[in-house]
Amino acid sequence: MLYVDDLHKSYQTGSKTYPVLKGVSFQVAKGEFVAVMGPSGSGKSTIAYTVMGMYGMTGGEIDFEGEVFTKETKRKRSMKFRREAQIVFQDPGSSLNPYQDVRSILSLPLKVHKVVPKNEIDDKILEILEMVELPADFMYKSPNSIGGGEKQLVSIARALCCNPKFIILDEPTSSLDVSIQAKIINMLIKLKKEQNLTYMFITHDMGVMRNVSNRVAIMYLGKICEIAPTETFYRNPLHPYAAVLDPGSFGGGRDHQTKGSGVRGGNSVPGQCADGLQFSHPLPLQMRAVHKRRPGDAGGGARAYGPLSFDR
């Protein structure tokens, strides 16, 4: 369904160029639930925004259902792409218009993509609200009058308006209370089965990743360092960075540290780029070799991991 090949994204500040994505390659097959993990600043959300056309790419190629996007196409996306690919953002408070009610928010994509005739829009909104288990009277509420979990359910409802095939979930539960997180995750799993959806799920939570995804991609400083089926990765990670990850190491702060490993992750901040991995002990010999295959070449049950240099 989605093929990303050698994707590059850089930001220009004056005469300086700061690379954020450095040759990212991966694929998402129809029906998959792929988790993308990594510390803050590793480029996870940048991949999402570049795929959706919110950011222009510096190099590489994105192929969605046969539609190919490159640097030359800039941020242009066809109506077919905008209908079939949707995104749910991390912070629903900033992604929903506070001056509109839920009816107005959900009616816009229905009108733009002509999902139903105008006289059936309200019925369709009620149907979508029922799908995300929100009561009918939410149609007339504004985002400012509802809670954070309910706002995220409205965001999910908006993504469902166009009957999409593929949804990017950019840390949809990270800003919510733990009690609400479970409800959102269960809702997403239910919708995936009912609507035959494909997910790319960006997360910091290894527990969520293990429970819901069937494949995982680990990112560090703008590169994918390993891709594998979830259970295979959890039992036996190949890349040394992935191998020392503690299940709680991504949760919370912007700087994460692996438990008892002597390895620290840093943020790839423009002008203050991280130095990369710092090991307090020599790597095992079998982990020093650079794998010849790119992580993006691994699909389905295959797995691969990337080089240790990270182009530092």
What DSSP assignment string belongs to 68-111? EEETTTTT---HHHHHHEEEE-S-HHHHS-TTS-HHHHHHHHHH
Task: Tell me what pLDDT residue 93 has.
Answer: 83
How far does CA 51 lie from the centroid of its chain? Answer: 10
Positions of the chain with pLDDT under 50:
247-297, 307-312
Task: Tell me what pLDDT residue 264 has.
Answer: 44
**Is residue 254 a contact partner of residue 174, using CB atoms and an 8 Å limit?**
no
Distance, in Å, from the CA atom of 167 to the CA atom of 260, rounded to the nearest integer, reads: 36
Residue 9: what are its φ and ψ, rounded to 5°?
-145, 125
Task: Tell me what pLDDT residue 258 has.
Answer: 43
**Is residue 255 a contact partner of residue 38, using CB atoms and an 8 Å limit?**
no
> Model-level pTM?
0.80
**Is residue 185 a contact partner of residue 212, using CB atoms and an 8 Å limit?**
yes
Task: Tell me what pLDDT residue 177 has.
Answer: 78
Q: Is the dihedral of CA 271, 6, 39, 236 positive or negative?
A: negative
Task: Tell me what pLDDT residue 308 has.
Answer: 43
> What is the per-residue pLDDT across 28-78, written as a single tens digit (0 to 9) for each?
999 999 999 888 888 899 999 999 999 999 999 999 999 999 999 888 899
Task: Tell me what pLDDT residue 172 has.
Answer: 87
